[in-house]
Structure 1
Amino acid sequence: MAAQISSLDVPLFPLGTVLYPGGQLQLRIFEPRYLDLVRECTTNGTEFGVCLILEGAEVGAPAQPAAIGTLARIVDFSHRADGLLGISAEGGNRFRVLRTRARPDGLVRGDVQLWPDEMPQPVPVEFALLQIILERLIETMGPHWRHAPRTAYEEAGWLGFRLAELLPLAREEQQQMLEMTDSLQRLAALRDILPRFQKA
């Protein structure tokens, strides 16, 4: 496992999906606790943590978050047609949750230990098919990645995280891909999963 570095205190946003480093996240904000989270992050220029929900739901009582998550930085706001606040966020470092505490309003805060970025690795030739598959997925499902430079497809970490976002993985598989610390191991796991989708 990768060495761990500094720790910090962040508000946590448990979700029914996984955010990967470099990924993009669109959220509707309507609960007071998450409006407070957005206010805190924008006022202080800080990030919040996104964790997959293990038990519970995105609304209502505090949900139990996965131990490994991803920091998210708010990059844009929008006023949605339904009158709610919309935010766009980008995924940053991964982290491990050391301990959590819930406020009376249900907002969960966590003391988290940051993971370092993965070392860049070129995509070996045996994974060239994954590059082709990602290009096709982006054409139909990930238009925000259409202008990614060709060099991005040559980097194993970027390729693996984008495939994990766009392939119809089970939530447990999404989390497994997040928790892997070797980008080539992640590509191998994704390659082994592909036949399941080709038969569908």
Structure 2
Amino acid sequence: MTNFISIFPLGVVVYPGEQLNLHVFEPRYKQLIAECVVEKKPFGIPVVIDKKIMEYGTLVEIERIETTYDNGETDIVTLGIGVFRMLEHIIDIPDKLYAGAIVNYPENYEVGSSRLLQEVLHGVRELHAILQVHKTFKKEDDQLTAYDLAHHAGLSLDEEYELLHLFYETQRLEYLKRHLHKVIPMMAEMERLKERVKLNGHFRNLSADNL
């Protein structure tokens, strides 16, 4: 399917199923959100990297208006509902302050591998343990997806964007698995280095085993 959507470019990656809270303060986006609420229509969040609007983004729907301020600004809660590919960026729309895009929606295959999921989940928890970060997920372990775990795996914005346009769940899980296998040893070594630095200057009980 190909259609026109209003767009709200942001320097973040939003995944399908992800809740994103936004404070809307610019006039063009206040207009966009007001129209989406009245017309009950979604809008697109294309990813911005290095001040460039990228090809892929996520269609989101407004779940609720959390707060409306006297100056017309709003706090809204949105939910990612699908990945789109931008075919044409339309900057000037008559009577609109915001831009839009002609997009299509690549088919997304959501069935993955339970074994891979468990490996990735184990890696995420290992990374969090090293970093002394405590996080819980709203779903049971076997219900989690790569999208649920991606923001918790220490990916850069570029890497999160790469994962956004992988359209097979197994590919996404493999991507996270490779990333974690690379980053966990690096972080573990950094933690060991921190411990060595902490010991510097302390009195230590050392032995060379009578050599």
TM-score (norm 1): 0.78
Work out whether residues 21 and 75 of structure 2, in 8 Å CA contact, stay in contact via their aligned partners in 1: yes
Q: CA deviation at 1:140?
A: 3.2
Displaced runs of 4 or more, over 3 A: 80-84, 103-106, 132-137
Q: Is the 8 A contact 1:20 1:165 kept in 2?
A: no
Distance 1:80 1:130 in 2: 40
| Aligned pairs (5 A) from 1:104-183 | 107-123=98-114, 125-134=115-124, 140-141=134-135, 145-146=137-138, 148-153=139-144, 158=145, 160-183=146-169
Where do 5+ consecutive residues of structure 2 fail to align? 188-211
Matches within 5 A, 1:1-200: 6-56=1-51, 64-79=52-67, 84-103=73-92, 107-123=98-114, 125-134=115-124, 140-141=134-135, 145-146=137-138, 148-153=139-144, 158=145, 160-194=146-180, 195-200=182-187
| CA distance in 1 between partners of 2:66 and 2:75 (Å) | 5
SS in 1 for 2:151: helix
Change (3 A) 1:88 1:140: farther
Alpha-carbon shift at residue 81 of structure 1 (Å): 8.8
Question: Is the alpha carbon distance of 1:55 and 1:91 closer, same or farther for their aligned partners in structure 2, counting shifts above 3 Å?
Answer: same
Could you tell me how far 1:77 is from its partner in structure 2?
1.5
Does the 8 A contact of 1:75 with 1:88 survive in 2? yes
Aligned-partner residue type, residue 164 of structure 1:
A
Identical columns (%): 24
- For structure 1, the residue ranges without an aligned partner over 5 or more in a row are 1-5, 57-63
Q: Is the 8 Å Cα contact of residues 134 and 162 (structure 1) preserved in structure 2?
A: no
For the aligned residue pairs, the C-alpha RMSD in angstroms reads 2.6
Change (3 A) 1:76 1:162: same
Deviation at 1:72, TM superposition (A): 0.3
In structure 1, C-alpha distance between the alignment counterparts of 2:116 and 2:105, rounded to whole Å: 31
For 2:183 and 2:84, how far apart are their aligned partners in 1?
A: 30
Q: How much has 1:8 moved relative to structure 2?
A: 1.1
Q: Which deviations, in whole Å up to 9, do the C-alpha atoms of 1:63-102 show, x marking residues without a partner? A: x321111100000222279974111111011111010111
- For 2:24 and 2:107, how far apart are their aligned partners in 1? 29
CA distance in 2, matches of 1:199, 1:80: 45
Gap change, CA 1:44 and 1:126, over 3 Å in 2: closer
**SS in structure 2 of the partner of residue 110 of structure 1:** strand
For residues 47 and 126 of structure 1, do their structure 2 counterparts lie closer, same or farther at Cα, with a shift above 3 Å needed?
closer
| Residue 50 of structure 1: how far off its partner (Å) | 0.8
Q: 1:82 to 1:161 in 2, by over 3 A?
A: farther
Does the 8 Å CA contact 1:53/1:65 hold for their aligned counterparts? yes
Q: Residue type of the partner of 1:176?
A: E
The structure-2 alpha-carbon separation of the partners of 1:185 and 1:77, relative to structure 1 and needing over 3 Å to count, comes to: same
